[in-house]
Amino acid sequence: LFLHKNKVGLYRVHEEPASDKLENFIALANRMGFAIKEFKDSIAINAFLQKTKEHPESYLLSTMLLRSMQQAYYHSENFGHYGLGFSHYTHFTSPIRRYPDLVVHRLIKKLKKYESDSKLVDTAAFLTEACKTSSEKERQAVDMERAIKRRKSIHFLKDNLGETFAGIVSGVTERGIYAALTYTGIEGMVLESLLEGFEYDDERKEFRRGKTVIRLGTLVRVRLVSMNLHRELIDFQWIENLEHEG
């Protein structure tokens, strides 16, 4: 209706992932023992997630795959939704009564002549601003959710200082590595200063010490060394690399 009558509306859009990020995830999955050459489309990606949902590291797989995707957002023009494989997609109803849902309801009522023109502004300018504001508020909500999750993670681990955990490397920077604990997904950082003897290879995005290599997807054992609730930080110390099972 929006495309045929107005050419603008309120769409939930999700663009294709950057090829390099998707290639990085495929390399990660291969290092974890999954034989993947490529993902032809979002259908193949969703099939992979369905196939691996019972895998012990399924949560980490889905999290890392999500990070390789573009962020969905609202827009007054239609660009399709890659993740769902839809050429047209919008948010129409939700238990939390999103503002975009209400805008779509009002647009439909306007198009169906259930409301007079004076009760709804459906200009491109209004819809552009509504989409921009909705996307901004969504990102703010996501940031708050992540902050709460980090704080809850610290509370969860408060009695485990000094203990060791199995995890997987979820990020690598020149400052150190990020490790996500295998069974909880709780993420913390191993600072470069605690990677004694390792040298960082910026081109390969990995740390190397002799034959020992730490890169994205490496299974590791780490020790919980410190936490800071105020700064929402969890720090680990690298102990050793672990072998992938299977």
CA-to-CA distance for 221 and 165, rounded, in angstroms?
6
Domain boundaries defined on the chain: 2-152, 164-241
pLDDT score recorded for residue 118: 44
- Radius of gyration, CA atoms only, the chain: 22
pLDDT above 80 for 114: no
Could you list the beta-strand ranges (E) of 27-151: 73-75
Mean per-residue pLDDT for 197-216? 92
What pLDDT digit, counting tens, does each position of 2-12 carry?
A: 555 666 788 99
Domain 164-241: CATH superfamily, name plus number: Nucleic acid-binding proteins (2.40.50.140)
| CB-based contact 229:151 (threshold 8 Å) | yes
* The token pair that represents 199 in the structure block: 């040298």
pLDDT bin (cut points 50, 70, 90) of residue 226 is very high
What pLDDT digit, counting tens, does each position of 78-100 carry?
A: 999 999 989 889 888 776 668 89
Residue 95: phi, psi to the nearest 5? Answer: -60, -25
| Cβ atoms within 10 Å of 18's Cβ, excluding its own | 12
At position 112, the amino acid (one-letter code) is K
What pLDDT digit, counting tens, does each position of 33-51 carry?
A: 788 888 888 888 989 888 8
Q: What is the pTM of this model?
A: 0.77
CA-to-CA distance for 186 and 156, rounded, in angstroms?
10
